[in-house]
Structure 1
Amino acid sequence: MRDSTAIAIGGFDGMHIGHQHLFRELGERGTIVVIETGYANLTPKKERENYSHYPILYIELEDIRHLEADEFISFLKEKFTKLQKIVVGYDFHFGKDRKYSFDDLRELFDGEVKVVDEVSYEGDSIHSHKIRTKIKIGDIKGANDFLGHNYTINGPLVAGQGIGKKEFVATINIDAREYLTPKEGVYATLTRIDDDEHFHPSVSFIGHRVTTDGSFAVESHILDGEVLCRDRARISFVSHLRDNKKFNTKAELKKAIECDIEEAYKRLKLLQL
């Protein structure tokens, strides 16, 4: 990273289409500098590394928020001794009380400062907070359009109720508490198991099991055959099928699950055409 000549600076939660516009300005010897605020829940921690080939340096906001503008420039030059170019978004602010902007970077930095304008999709500006809102209301298509990829969560394997395989269908249950979970309901998804690069077509449930024990679950049923999960899984959301619903009997729930599976098959098959 120390040999990098260009850096892109931001929070970059989501690594969405707008962020990708910044990364395109980096050239061959670029590095992404992530300012960690503690609020990232679309691509928490090192999850961002799945959405760019550039190396990423993570810096805690608490370590730099007190810096004046010239101190911030010195800090960056210490990290990147060959720095020639800084790329930021139009709304980038930094330093003590966030009182500095790209104008201050241009005044103080002796290299190039590239400011990327607001990026829009179908006339709507792209921001991480808008993606969070879409995910919360179950608008997975809208969130994915803004992200430029399917919204994906991952987590370690956890025990389920123990009745799925016996009374309904076998599911993989994960702990995804670091992520923003979509609106409670059922989704057509793609699920990757452990270190396998292959995504399996799946149907996933997010929410409280209101018909059975009432506990909260993130669980996925693989559609192309039962797969053994040893450690963790990644669930990639494609389409919202229905909201969470309480059924009067387990038989009604089982029938609904069968319908969910059939609909998920249809939705996912359309992607392959």
Structure 2
Amino acid sequence: MSIATTLKNSTSIAIGGFDGMHIGHQELFHHLDQNGVIVVINTGYANLTPNHFREKHTEHLIHYYDLDDIRHLDGAGFVSLLKDDFPKLQKIVVGYDFHFGKDRRYSYEDLKELFDGEVLVVDEVQHHNDSVHSHKIRHKLSIGDIKGANEFLGHNYTICGKKITGQGIGAKELVATINIEAKEFLVPKEGVYVTTTRIDDEEHFHPSVSFVGHRVSTDGSFAIESHILDGKVLCEEKAEISFIAYIRENKKFESIDELRDAIKKDIAIANRELQRLEL
């Protein structure tokens, strides 16, 4: 079925920004019909699952509106747009804090008045008595609370980027790493992490240990680099790094030997954690 046909035949949609595609967002998606569509209002500020990376976390089709293209619409104009794009629309699913229209002046209460079908409002989703929001996930990542962020997300936080050339001393004096540039994504707190890494278009992720931050012990430049633990892997174009646990802070070592010893300890910790998780 073509995308156009799916949109034409869809009877239910969920509307939101959906950066992160976290467990709160997934609760909205659970209320969609089989042919339901996720409608993303793309603000340009998404950095947990920017752009089409959201599609990795749902089986539903995603339809995008750029905020700049619709921000001028009043409530009736927005609902009219939805009816034009989804002519068989019967149900709209939104969160309790949903706002829309010019200057975000309309809420789900207005939507109920303007739309002649069902408007289903999903209450606040909590995890361990803490409300789940994208801004809280960003905070957890900024302090290195990877496990907490992943619990809110419902999946391991993952960044993707193109392969770039590293400083050149890793394979010669330390360990071989794959270096990436991931400008679209929020990068976690500087430090060393237990990770898994997907290379190019491979289907599986490799066990890995990754470093994020400034290379304070060598050239001082910022880097995102991953060392693959299950053998040498050739990366041609891109890599995805999924973060599992925080190992240690970024710190300066006085010699290459000290740095090498620290990396050996990082690798041992990563191997133990990955074996514990059976990854």
TM-score (norm 2): 0.97
Q: Is 1:141 matched with 2:147? A: yes
Letter in 2 for 1:135: L
Aligned twin of 1:44: 50
| Equivalent of residue 243 in structure 2, options 226, 237, 242 | 237
Aligned twin of 1:90: 96
Aligned twin of 1:225: 231
Choose 58-67 or 11-20, whichever is displaced more: 58-67
| Equivalent of residue 119 in structure 1, options 125, 142, 158 | 125
Deviations 1:72-116 (A, max 9, x none): 110101111111110000000001111100011111101100000
Q: Is 1:177 matched with 2:183? A: yes
Once superposed, what is the RMSD of the aligned Cα atoms? 0.8
- Once the two structures are TM-superposed, the CA of residue 63 in structure 1 deviates from its matched residue by 1.2
Aligned twin of 1:71: 77
Identity score, percent: 67
Aligned twin of 2:200: 194
Aligned twin of 1:10: 16
Q: Is 1:204 matched with 2:245? A: no
Aligned twin of 2:112: 106
Choose 148-157 or 62-71, whichever is displaced more: 62-71
- Once the two structures are TM-superposed, the CA of residue 264 in structure 1 deviates from its matched residue by 0.3
Deviations 1:178-231 (A, max 9, x none): 100000000000000011011110000000000000000000000000100011
Superposed, 1:244-255 pairs within 5 Å as 244-255=250-261
- Once the two structures are TM-superposed, the CA of residue 65 in structure 1 deviates from its matched residue by 1.3
Q: Is 1:166 matched with 2:172? A: yes
- Once the two structures are TM-superposed, the CA of residue 25 in structure 1 deviates from its matched residue by 0.5
- Once the two structures are TM-superposed, the CA of residue 67 in structure 1 deviates from its matched residue by 1.0
State the secondary structure of the residue aligned to 2:39.
Answer: strand
Letter in 2 for 1:75: L
- Once the two structures are TM-superposed, the CA of residue 71 in structure 1 deviates from its matched residue by 0.7
- Once the two structures are TM-superposed, the CA of residue 266 in structure 1 deviates from its matched residue by 0.5
- Once the two structures are TM-superposed, the CA of residue 272 in structure 1 deviates from its matched residue by 1.3
The whole-number CA distance in structure 2 between the counterparts of 1:194 and 1:62 is 33
Aligned twin of 1:130: 136
The whole-number CA distance in structure 2 between the counterparts of 1:135 and 1:45 is 20
- Once the two structures are TM-superposed, the CA of residue 53 in structure 1 deviates from its matched residue by 0.4
The whole-number CA distance in structure 1 between the counterparts of 2:198 and 2:91 is 37
Letter in 2 for 1:144: N
TM-score (norm 1): 0.99
Q: How many residues align?
A: 273
State the secondary structure of the residue aligned to 1:7.
Answer: strand
- Once the two structures are TM-superposed, the CA of residue 46 in structure 1 deviates from its matched residue by 0.3
- Once the two structures are TM-superposed, the CA of residue 29 in structure 1 deviates from its matched residue by 1.1
The whole-number CA distance in structure 1 between the counterparts of 2:204 and 2:259 is 30
Aligned twin of 1:59: 65
- Once the two structures are TM-superposed, the CA of residue 3 in structure 1 deviates from its matched residue by 1.4
The whole-number CA distance in structure 2 between the counterparts of 1:153 and 1:251 is 30
- Once the two structures are TM-superposed, the CA of residue 57 in structure 1 deviates from its matched residue by 0.7
Aligned twin of 2:4: none
